[in-house]
Amino acid sequence: MSFDATFWVAISFFIFIGLLVYFKIPQNINNLLTKMIGDIKKEIEESEKLRVESKKLLDEAQAKLNSVEGETKKILDQAKSESEQLVISMNEKFHKSSEIKKNLTQTKINQMKESAIKEIKDRSIKIALESVKKIMTTTVDRSKLDNLFEKNLEEAKSELKKINS
């Protein structure tokens, strides 16, 4: 019986398979693959935990960001209202100050006007008295002059009292 090459290939294939089974190669490969599958499952579970934790951290960060944005808006609104109140207050103070200065200036002007009028009246009276005195001394005799002077002096005093009152 002559055996051809296919027969020997088949025999060597079965011997190869037998050696593989004898040395527990398929079992070792199966154990290795099972171990790798377990490791991959662990990594997937770990990555899922990390994803959940990341999602939680992201949500917390987003909540904090929203809170900060709300607080920032509140602070900006408060600062805006305070600045508006300050502007209004400063404007009112400016107007009050200008009104007070206006009133003081008006009072000073009135006082200066009254002072000037009084001074003009005093000088006018003085000039008039001196003029009358000169006229009287040159045209009227001494006794009539004294009587007239006394009379005019009394009238001038009474007029001055009326003016000063």
d(CA 117, CA 147): 31
* Span 46-82, pLDDT tens digits: 999 999 999 999 999 999 999 999 999 999 999 999 9
| Residue of 134 and 92 predicted with greater confidence | 92
DSSP per residue, 128-158:
HHHHHHHHHHHHS-HHHHHHHHHHHHHHHHH
Indicate whether 44 pLDDT > 70: yes
pLDDT band (50, 70, 90) for residue 145:
low
The mean pLDDT value for 16-20 works out to: 89
pLDDT surpassing 70 at residue 1:
no
Average pLDDT, integer, range 141-161: 78
User: pLDDT-based confidence at 141, cuts 50/70/90?
Assistant: low
Using the predicted structure, report yes or no on whether residue 150 has a pLDDT greater than 70.
yes
Task: Give the pTM.
Answer: 0.41
Span 100-116, pLDDT tens digits = 999 999 999 999 999 99
Over the chain, what is the mean pLDDT?
Answer: 88
pLDDT confidence band for 96 (50 / 70 / 90): very high
Other beta carbons within 10 angstroms of residue 149's beta carbon come to 16
6-9, Cβ contacts within 8 angstroms, sequence gap of 24 or more: none
Distance of CA 5 to the CA centre of its chain: 99
- One-letter amino acid of 15: I
